Structure 1
Amino acid sequence: MATETTRPDSPSNAQRTSARGRLTGIDMARGAALLTMMATHLLPVISPDATGHPEPTWIGLVISGRAAALFAVLAGVSLSLGRVPAAENRLGLALRAAVIAAVGLSLGSLNVDISIILVDYGALFLCAIPVLKLGQRALGALAVLWILLAPLAAYGLRTVLRDGSRPLRLGHNPAWLDLMDPARFAADIAATGIYPVIVWFGYILAGLWIGRLPLRRLGVQIGLLAGGVAAAVLAKCTEWVLLGPLGGRDALLATPQARDGQLDALLRADLSEVDQTGSVWWLLTAAPHSGTTLDLVHTCGTSAAVLAGFLLVARIRVIDRTRVLLPLAGAGGMTLTLYTGHVAEIAWSQKAGSEFDGGGLLAAHVLVALAAGLVFRLNGWRGPLERVTHAAYQLAAELRAPHA
């Protein structure tokens, strides 16, 4: 899922920066997103307390929702990278998106018990193509409007598409066989699935806007960190007012979705499996994977803060010289390969019916990812699947070169 690690040398790109100073921090952030997504796959987000009452774990409270959002925001940032700018190689971007989606459909065919983001990720790249040439202000305005309005549109679509005798929702990861039912497949990807593109495109727009900033500047990095933290805190404070003093939580706990007794914990940890219909209060939470405006504001804020934090870390000379975070940056440069291997190994373990310790398996996956990242980065190699996506992107660039 990572892209080229060379900043485009294009006259239209006003923010020319050194690749090393900027992209190491971006790759570290991408590596952190990968490892934290692994944690959400292998460790529970909700667990019973001493009395048997379901409560969010630290994974649910700290990582759930934020890791996947960071991945998506960085996807938007990555569109400003590469020897051939994405805005000038739209066919290449479409081919890259097709490769990523094909990998996702193949993984979905394994029936693994985790939510796979790759098909939606590929669809998000396709959706980005029409807006790549927008200016900074236009992107910012569109991002704000999208974050405000897209959750409303998705709520209305979910209500319509999930009703009736034939709900247009897959209920599982998209797979190749699902293409035989294009209406349900398209509805799931767009609005009714775990990662609805209508909502998640807001992350791409936010990432594109961030990617246009002069990110090598210290002041920009500090501003991005402060702004991200402020946005994240503001969203959660607003949620507290709406769900607490104004009665939103009580209203949601009175819905049919609360009958199993877990909704209070899910509101703090993960709403992805909850059918958020029947009450407008669903639109006013900032719960992980709720896809609301407050959720988008909060997770865009945390994503911006994490990215800024790694960009600041990359400036520290002792860290730069000792290259202690090179394994993390290396893993961030080959996330498609590592994510695919991670999901495939979980699928194999589940199919074998073997019981495994989630913490131990997570440690193994993290160590393998960091070791592979270090080896590939030291040797200047691309990951195997990154080579495929790069080849597709470059093929399109070469095809259009004679006509440039």
Structure 2
Amino acid sequence: MGMIYAPPRPAVLRPARTVPARIEALDLVRLLAVVGMMSAHLLAPLALVPGASGPEAAAARVAHLLTEGTSSTLFAVVGGCSLVLASRRHLADGDRRGAVLAILVRGAVVTALGLLLELAPSPVMVVLVPFGLSMMLTAPLLLLRARVLVAVIAVLTAGGHPLAMAVPGPVEFGTVTLLSLDDPVGVLRGLVLTGQYPVITWIPYLLTGIVLMRAVLREQEAGRIRRLSLLALAGGAVTAAAAHLLPVLAAALGHASPGAWYTAATHTGTVADMLATGGIAVALIGLALRLLPPLHLLPTLHTVRGRIAQSLRAAGAAPLTVYVAHVLATGIAVVIAVLLSGGDLSSMPWYVAGAGILAVHLGGVFALGAVLAERGGRGPLEALLATVIRRAVRR
């Protein structure tokens, strides 16, 4: 009896799970970070006005609680995620030099833009200089494995605050401008250790975003992105909650020392502060990826819901343009208020701080996003940045 051979079954072609060039959930989280910083600049200051009451004062207190320290941290962590997306084509082609150079140029342009923006008479503490410098210092670290980056994050998180406290000199509450470069020692000390946004704090945030986005790309290819997003959401939330409980536990045990590693006060760079703010950032990114995985795109412009969603996404994809416009508009409002009041700003007019001017800024952000979504283009500063990077890497 002869053997019967069945014909081979045709191979089943599974759809590719390649991550698109843009991750729309990341654009929306980036917009949330920028809106949070706007709220911290325009609404939250009213929470510090003695005797303030009413709905606006209540909203200001909520804004202060939700955005102080967390919005800038979210901006930094999302920035780290963006560095992975910006360099992955070069790394996939084996162009390690191009990957590092592209990030170096990106950081240099952002730093230069921050120095110029600081010349504007705005009360906003601009984050672009430390952000850009942190990108430049992080660029070569993109070539390292994730486990090495996790070790660097742990070392900087644990040692950054004690090192800053050990450095002699005052704590710099301002930011670096072209006018302050005549004191290079003070500028370097403030940028790296003792400023409002020191590099030793921002680099761990950027590296956290890099490690997270690498995991997102890997798990997306494996079809496990929903599991990762849930882990990021739960892990980040638990970490942030534990960090905020540390000072409560320490006080219960009789240890209540201001500035200690277990205090979670914002902008201090303590271990608890970085775990709390970093955990919130990771949780928000995880939530966004859970609601909008990389291959699940927003609705198109053909519906009202799609126009709103795409306008918000486009605004989130233009953070430099939005942020710079916000800082300049805030500065112009302050100058007008000073001129009209003769220098007396004992009471801030509505167009300097409050829910009204925040609504105006948010309306401008949405209008810009609507235009960019309709045209399918980048923000002006994002287009300029892309051109500079492209020309620099080609050489």
Give the structure-1-normalised TM-score.
0.79
Partner residue, 1:267: none
Aligned 1:293-312 pairs, distance under 5 A: 293-312=271-290
1:46-78 deviations in whole A, cap 9, x for unaligned?
Answer: 3357699x9981122122111000000111111
Aligned counterpart in structure 1 of residue 233 of structure 2, from 202, 225, 238 = 225
What amino acid maps onto 2:40 in structure 1? Answer: T
The answer to whether the 8 Å contact 1:38/1:362 transfers is yes
- Tell me, what secondary structure is at the counterpart of 2:65? helix
Partner residue, 1:258: none
Aligned counterpart in structure 2 of residue 326 of structure 1, from 310, 321, 333 = 310
- Which protein has the larger Cα radius of gyration, Structure 1 or Structure 2? 2
The answer to whether the 8 Å contact 1:94/1:125 transfers is yes
Question: In the aligned structure 1, how far is the partner of 2:297 from the partner of 2:382?
Answer: 30
CA gap of 1:149–1:106, structure 2 versus 1, over 3 A, is: same
Aligned counterpart in structure 1 of residue 149 of structure 2, from 136, 139, 147 = 139
CA gap of 1:320–1:156, structure 2 versus 1, over 3 A, is: farther
How far did 1:106 drift?
Answer: 1.2
What amino acid maps onto 1:356 in structure 2? Answer: W
Partner residue, 1:126: 136
Residue 245 (structure 2) pairs with residue 234 (structure 1): no
Residue 372 (structure 2) pairs with residue 394 (structure 1): no
Question: In the aligned structure 2, how far is the partner of 1:310 from the partner of 1:295?
Answer: 23
- Tell me, what secondary structure is at the counterpart of 2:44? coil
What amino acid maps onto 1:29 in structure 2? Answer: V
What amino acid maps onto 1:72 in structure 2? Answer: A
Aligned counterpart in structure 1 of residue 84 of structure 2, from 75, 80, 84 = 80
How far did 1:93 drift?
Answer: 1.8
Partner residue, 1:117: 127
Question: In the aligned structure 1, how far is the partner of 2:43 from the partner of 2:83?
Answer: 31
CA gap of 1:17–1:147, structure 2 versus 1, over 3 A, is: farther
Q: Which runs of 5+ in 2 are unaligned?
A: 1-15, 341-348
Figure out how many residues of one structure are paired with residues of the other and give that number.
345
What amino acid maps onto 1:309 in structure 2? Answer: L
Aligned 1:351-370 pairs, distance under 5 A: 351-353=335-337, 355-357=349-351, 358-370=354-366
Question: In the aligned structure 2, how far is the partner of 1:139 from the partner of 1:93?
Answer: 17
- Tell me, what secondary structure is at the counterpart of 1:212? helix
1:297-351 deviations in whole A, cap 9, x for unaligned?
Answer: 1111100111111122224979546434222211111110110000001111111
What amino acid maps onto 2:368 in structure 1? Answer: A
Question: In the aligned structure 2, how far is the partner of 1:229 from the partner of 1:63?
Answer: 16
Q: Percent identity?
A: 28
Partner residue, 2:202: 200
How far did 1:247 drift?
Answer: 4.0
The answer to whether the 8 Å contact 1:28/1:325 transfers is no
Question: In the aligned structure 2, how far is the partner of 1:287 from the partner of 1:396?
Answer: 41
Question: In the aligned structure 1, how far is the partner of 2:237 from the partner of 2:134?
Answer: 25
Aligned counterpart in structure 2 of residue 97 of structure 1, from 98, 107, 110 = 107
The answer to whether the 8 Å contact 2:112/2:129 transfers is yes
CA root-mean-square deviation: 2.6
Question: In the aligned structure 1, how far is the partner of 2:183 from the partner of 2:296?
Answer: 54
How far did 1:170 drift?
Answer: 5.3
The answer to whether the 8 Å contact 1:30/1:71 transfers is yes
Aligned counterpart in structure 2 of residue 339 of structure 1, from 323, 338, 344 = 323
CA gap of 1:180–1:17, structure 2 versus 1, over 3 A, is: farther
The answer to whether the 8 Å contact 2:84/2:214 transfers is yes
The answer to whether the 8 Å contact 2:161/2:268 transfers is no
Give the structure-2-normalised TM-score.
0.81
Question: In the aligned structure 2, how far is the partner of 1:51 from the partner of 1:367?
Answer: 26
